[in-house]
Amino acid sequence: MIKLLYICIGVYLSITFIIFGMDYYHYLLERYGRFHIGRFRDEEDWEKRVIKKSVKWLKKEPTVKLTDNNRYIILDMMTKKYRNSTVQSWQKGALLLGLQKYGSKYKKEIQKCINMLIDENGEFINTPTNIDCGFLAYAILKNSESLDVEPAMTFASNLIINNMGTDGMIHYTNDKESTECYVDTIGLAIPFLVAYAETYHAPEIKKIALKQLKLFTQYGLDKGSLLPNHAFDSRSKLPLGVFGWGRGCAWYVIGLMDSYLELKEDNECEWIRKQIQIIAEEYRKYQREDGGFGYIFQMRYGYDSSATAVMAYFYKKCYDIFEKEIYYDIYIKCLKKLMEVTKINGALDWCQGDTKAIGTFSQTFGIMPFAQGMMIRSFEEK
């Protein structure tokens, strides 16, 4: 009887040690991982460490948590509330897009990563189920010979188009009857659809993609500030959520910029070009004094590296297109802020975590491979 009691106590203590040990491990990782943050000798050294860390993450990117919970983490893992492949897909996609410009140098690592995603028949090894796959598909297409991955690209395109409801909008959730039109869709899916249409000569796909941009611009932006809402209702045309969410603004400008860069000869080029310049001028005033952008643009506190990294990319491309020095100045200020919040191991920190629902945003800030990849996309060619 006493022996059984000792066994029960031992099992209880072991389980307790594992549960609290996991929590404490993550606590130490977050707290002490920030020692010496931002202490880089120069910009070149910083960029090298950022790229080195990103190449390492191609093999296995860190998890972006689904919850803000910092206790009983192991229980979240066991119940699959800690990580999912949908969120991780656009983390991997951003890393691939960021490292694309260094393709010749890291060709082997990039190809290994793609081989883990696409089989010898050009199809996805793990079949996507959500439109988030558009961002990863876009990155794969940009890093591959188009014919080698055409089956997977067609699958991703069909998956996204099949989420289009009777209102003509592609819905973020797998529900055609939904009337909620998310800004996330603009960044996650539209550039891929445009690139797919241009690569595989599918004008009807391009027409659908550009329609999403125009409708969200018409109904999803605040008329005065031009800040996007998290979503809008396609039936009532009323906004849903919060205007000015930082990563929502990022999704919108990614949709605009990358779609424009993918378009070849098209009548819509001029409309997107004008919209890019209007947005670039309007969003200038939301850059903070420290060079960053907030998780809510119009608030002067609550910094977010994921929004700042995308804005660095956006304004660098704006400078390339319009050749206005003010855009380059904004870009450089973004980079300086991003350098200040990069860990000594090259991981960009202070990124807002995963969004929970319309208007319900994470209150945890840490590393996010998506932001890391977008930051690399902004780096100037050496």
For residue range 280-326, list pLDDT tens digits in order: 999 999 999 999 999 999 998 899 999 999 999 999 999 999 999 99
C-alpha 358/C-alpha 161 separation (Å) is 22
Under the banding of pLDDT at 50, 70 and 90, the label for residue 24 is: very low
C-alpha 227/C-alpha 352 separation (Å) is 18
Phi, psi of 335 (to 5 degrees): -60, -40
Displacement of CA 100 from its chain's centroid (Å): 16
The DSSP symbol for 229 reads: E
Beta strands, E only, the chain? 180-182, 229-233, 239-243, 351-352, 365-366
Q: At what angle do helices 190-200 and 246-262 cross, to 10 degrees?
A: 10
Question: If you average pLDDT over residues 239-246, what whole number do you get?
Answer: 95
**Stronger pLDDT, 357 or 160, i.e. the higher one:** 160
pLDDT per position as a tens digit, 41-68 = 889 999 999 999 999 999 999 877 756 5
pLDDT above 60: residue 266: yes
CA-based nearest residue to 319, from 309, 332, 337, 336: 332
Please give the pLDDT value at position 95.
98
CA-based nearest residue to 184, from 138, 231, 244, 136: 231
pLDDT per position as a tens digit, 243-253 = 999 999 999 99
Instruction: Quote the mean pLDDT of the chain.
Output: 89
**Stronger pLDDT, 14 or 185, i.e. the higher one:** 185
The DSSP symbol for 380 reads: P
Burial tier of 263 (Cβ tally within 10 Å: 0-12, 13-18, 19+): buried
Please give the pLDDT value at position 10.
60
Question: If you average pLDDT over residues 111-124, what whole number do you get?
Answer: 96
Please give the pLDDT value at position 12.
56
Handedness of CA 248, 250, 253, 257 (dihedral sign): negative
pLDDT above 80: residue 75: no
